[in-house]
């Protein structure tokens, strides 16, 4: 079921989200100041491409200052986008598992510093 869920996710939402996050991450890694933030975008892209079968925990206490900077400079808007897509996907019964993964992406997009994926 993980494989089927990942394939459907990849075709509908995951590919585009991963590409957008990866391109933004690489662009941020060009500057020295943007490297930590670019790496977080790449982390989000890795989770966005194949989310089924992976778990993720966010930990605000590991890097609170960087998380606050992230939230102030676009993290809140990014999390809001994932939240709205998740709500839209949860309208249908078939979309509920995909909406749940969008909510996980919302949490990761809001507090990426210190987040651990397995």
Count up the domains in the chain and report the number.
1
Contact 117/47 with Cβ under 8 angstroms? yes
User: For the residues of 6-63, what is the DSSP string, one character each?
Assistant: HHHHIIIIIHHHHHHHHHHHHHHHTSTTTHHHHHHHHHHHHHHHS-TT--EE--GGGS
| Coil, strand or helix at 108 | helix
The pair of three-digit structure tokens given for residue 31, joined into one six-digit string:
């500057």
Give residue 37's pLDDT.
93
The predicted structure's pLDDT at residue 35 = 93
pLDDT of 36 over the 90 cut: yes
- The residue range of the domain holding 74 is 2-117
pTM (2 decimals)? 0.87
- Residue 40 vs residues 2, 52, 76: alpha-carbon distances, Å: 25, 20, 14
Taking the C-alpha atoms of residue 51 and residue 48, their distance in angstroms, rounded to an integer, is 6
Which distant-in-sequence residues (6+ apart) come within 8 Å of 77 by Cβ? none
Q: What is the pLDDT of residues 66-98, one digit of tens each?
A: 999 999 988 899 999 999 999 999 999 999 999
Kindly give, in sequence order, each residue whose CB lies less than 8 Å from that of residue 14, ignoring residues fewer than 6 positions away.
6, 48, 49, 50, 51
User: Rounded mean pLDDT of the chain?
Assistant: 90
Q: Quickly tell me which residue has 């933004």 as its tokens.
A: 24
């Amino acid at each position: 079921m993980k494989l089927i869920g990942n394939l459907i996710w990849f075709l509908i939402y995951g590919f585009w989200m991963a590409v957008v996050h990866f391109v933004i991450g690489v662009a941020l890694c060009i500057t020295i100041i943007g490297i930590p933030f670019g790496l977080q975008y790449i982390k989000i892209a890795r989770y966005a491409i194949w989310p089924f079968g992976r778990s993720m925990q966010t930990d605000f206490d590991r890097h609170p200052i960087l998380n606050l900077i992230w939230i102030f400079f676009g993290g809140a808007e990014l999390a809001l986008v994932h939240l709205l897509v998740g709500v839209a996907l949860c309208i249908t019964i078939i979309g509920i598992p995909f909406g749940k993964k969008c909510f996980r992406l919302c949490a990761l997009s809001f507090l990426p510093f210190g987040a651990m994926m397995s």
